[in-house]
Every structure is written in structure tokens, then in C-alpha cells.
Structure 1
Amino acid sequence: MSVTESTTQLAPIGTWSADPVHSHVAFEVAYAGVNTFRGGFTDFTATLVSSEGGTTLEGTAKVASVDVKDEQMNAHLQTPDFFDAERHPEIRFTARELRKLADGRVEGSGELTIKGVTQPVELTGRAADAPTVDPFGRERLGLRLETTIDRTAFGVSWNAPNQGGGDYLGNDVAIVAELALIRQAG
């Protein structure tokens, strides 16, 4: 963030939890040199806490819930070749500082833990201008966060040679969280 950019409150003060029905956590990686491979997690949590001191976000994803629309690949992703679900059943994320810029962009930094390895990550994204109230009287806020990691830095290093040259899987993985956050009572 440049020193001339002003920030605004990311969310009204309070605790906000992701609505799992209207939120998703996804990833994509270059595949076979010709395509993008996409997947996500169906069992995850995210909690945003907004206070006068700033905004934090914590989240987890259950590795067993990885979904790439193919049961055989889902099973392979849970092995030590990839996420090692038996030894590391959760992926964890913590952001200690999220900032909403005046134009609606969000920036921040945090830590991501995969396979027991924790690495710093930088985040970018967008947040809704203001919360809305759904038909059931719940206050909601939209937040999209993105980062790109080198999967090998987390010990996720399986690969195979590609017949056209290079590796079958890229090392850079884009991660996107689209969160529909609901304000919690209290």
C-alpha cells in the first residue's frame, strides 16, 4: 500500500463467520502445460474479527474435503504425495492485518500452514462497500481474497515429466476465497 492511499474499516466492528453455502475456497494450478487444473474444499471455516484496532481473519479447510470432481484424484490429493490428510488433516490460514483501501481493494498479510509447514502470504482482493441484510434478517458482507503460493515450499512436491517437456504440474498455485460473511450476535 502506498503511503498516500487511505484505508477504511473493512467491516463493521464485530465477529463475522463464513456462510458455507454461499462461500467457497478454491485453487488452480497449471496442468500438463496446456490447461488449468481447478479444485476446492467443501468443508472449511472462516472467521473475520473487526475491531477499532484492525481486522483479522482465521480459517481452516479439512483436507479430506478436497474436491476436484474425480474420486480417484481426490484420493490421490489426500496422500503424502500432496496434502497427507492422515498426518495433516487441516490447512490453516491466519491474517493478522487486513486493510480495505478507499477504492474497495483489500490488502493484507498472513500465514498459511499446509502439511505442517507455515509460510507468510500476501493477500489481495475486494470487499463489499457495506453490509446488506438478507431476507432472514442477517447482516452479510462479501469478501474475496486471493494469493499465489509455491506449493513446493509447503512440501507439496509431487510431479511427473510432461511429454511435451517440463513438469506435469506447475509449482505456482492460485488460491481464492470467496466469502459470504454473516455477522454473529454479541
Structure 2
Amino acid sequence: MTAIAQSTIPANSTWTADTVHSTVGFAVKHMLVSTFRGRFESYDATLTAAEDGTLRLTGSVAADSILVKDDNLAAHLRAPDFFDTERFPTVTFDSTLIRSEDGELIVDGTLTIKGTSRPIEARGTITDPAITLGDVEKLGLVLEAIVDRREYGLDWNAPLPKGGFALANEVKLTVELELARA
């Protein structure tokens, strides 16, 4: 891991997600014409800054906390066709390198879904720490990554009558975290 250039995050500090003011979600092209979005309601994330300034981001999501606008679809997403939440209750992320490049935050790490771990690169922004209401020190972290869902065993799809498929293979993962200093 390496430090973000000119990071103002104090060394030897730990930051935890304020889940009331954070979001972990996904978006996928649906029926060739629109983007379907969902999110997870139960998750945690921790950002730690070591003495040498290196940063590490870890997080986990309770896969069965998936929230979409249709209960039947939510049940299908929890089933073996997708997340198989009975056998694989947790989705995890662990960073291996956090760096800044041309003003953009880049987080490399390992994403594990359904027992399959694959390298992933997320890009986004991080804010400097600020003192907020109640004298709580917080910072913001926004990351996006594109994954091929099939690489994690999320293979279900349905052919459309005139060609194409119900779901795209590429899924955009979006994490917007408000992190409070522990």
C-alpha cells in the first residue's frame, strides 16, 4: 500500500462508515434500454491510516440486505442464480494499494462475491477531514468500479425475443461513504 500524495489524513487514525449517511449500490443495464439500480442496507467499512501514511480500506456487505423495488426480484437476487446468500452471506473488499493519480483516487483491492475473489480497481475521490456537527471529525470517500458479474458466478440471464439479453454483464459498483474518526 502507498500513501495518497499530500494526504491530510492523520497517521495512526481509523475511520468507520456512518451508515446513515453512506450508500453501497450497483447499477446494471436492463432490457437494453434502461439502467436498473439497487443497494445494500447492511454493510460496514473501515479506512485506516498507518504511521507511515499508508491507507487501507476494508469493507463487507450482508448480501441478503439487498434492496430493490420488487420483493420477488429481491428474493431472486438472494437465490443461487445470483448471490446465493444462504451459502455466501457476505461480500467483502480489502484494498491492496491506495494511490492518487492526476488528482483522482485509485483503490486497488480484492472483491469477493460468492466465494470468488478477484482483483478490482475503483476510482473516485476522497475529501480532507473536517469537523462536523457534534465536533465529529469526518471525511468522504466516493468510489466506482465496473465488474463483469459472470466472473463472480452471477450468471443468470434471459434472452430477449428480438435479440440481446435481459441483463448486461458489466455492473457498476458505487460506494459513497461518510467516515467518522474512531
The TM-score normalised by the length of structure 1 is 0.91
1:44 maps to a residue whose letter is Y
Count of aligned residue pairs for this structure pair: 177
Question: What does 1:27-42 align with in structure 2 at a 5 Å threshold?
Answer: 27-42=26-41
Partner Cα separation in structure 2 for residue 102 and residue 167 of structure 1: 37
Partner Cα separation in structure 2 for residue 67 and residue 179 of structure 1: 18
Stretch deviating more after TM superposition (45-54 or 112-121) = 45-54
Residues 8 and 129 in structure 2, CA contact (< 8 A), matched pair in contact too: no
Tell me the CA shift for residue 21 of structure 1.
0.2
2:74 maps to a residue whose letter is N
Tell me the CA shift for residue 53 of structure 1.
4.6
Tell me the CA shift for residue 167 of structure 1.
1.1
Which residue does 1:96 correspond to in 2?
96
1:81 partnered with 2:81: yes
Deviations 1:17-62 (A, max 9, x none): 0000000001001100111110010000000011225111100000
Partner Cα separation in structure 1 for residue 68 and residue 171 of structure 2: 14
1:67 partnered with 2:67: yes
Helix, strand or coil for the counterpart of 2:133?
A: coil
Partner Cα separation in structure 2 for residue 55 and residue 21 of structure 1: 23
Which of residues 160, 169, 172 is equivalent to 1:171?
169
Which of residues 143, 146, 154 is equivalent to 1:145?
143
Which residue does 2:25 correspond to in 1?
26
Q: Which runs of 5+ in 2 are unaligned?
A: none
Partner Cα separation in structure 2 for residue 102 and residue 166 of structure 1: 38
Helix, strand or coil for the counterpart of 2:168?
A: strand
Q: Which runs of 5+ in 1 are unaligned?
A: 1-5
Helix, strand or coil for the counterpart of 2:64?
A: helix
Helix, strand or coil for the counterpart of 1:152?
A: helix
> Stretches of 4+ moved more than 3 A in 1?
none
Which residue does 2:47 correspond to in 1?
48
1:145 maps to a residue whose letter is L
Helix, strand or coil for the counterpart of 2:94?
A: strand
Q: What percent of counterpart residues are identical?
A: 41
Deviations 1:103-124 (A, max 9, x none): 3x20121000000000000111
Q: For the structure 1 residues 10 and 89, does the alpha-carbon distance in structure 2 shift closer, same or farther, using more than 3 Å as the test?
A: farther
- For the aligned residue pairs, the C-alpha RMSD in angstroms reads 1.4
2:30 maps to a residue whose letter is Y
Partner Cα separation in structure 2 for residue 77 and residue 149 of structure 1: 17
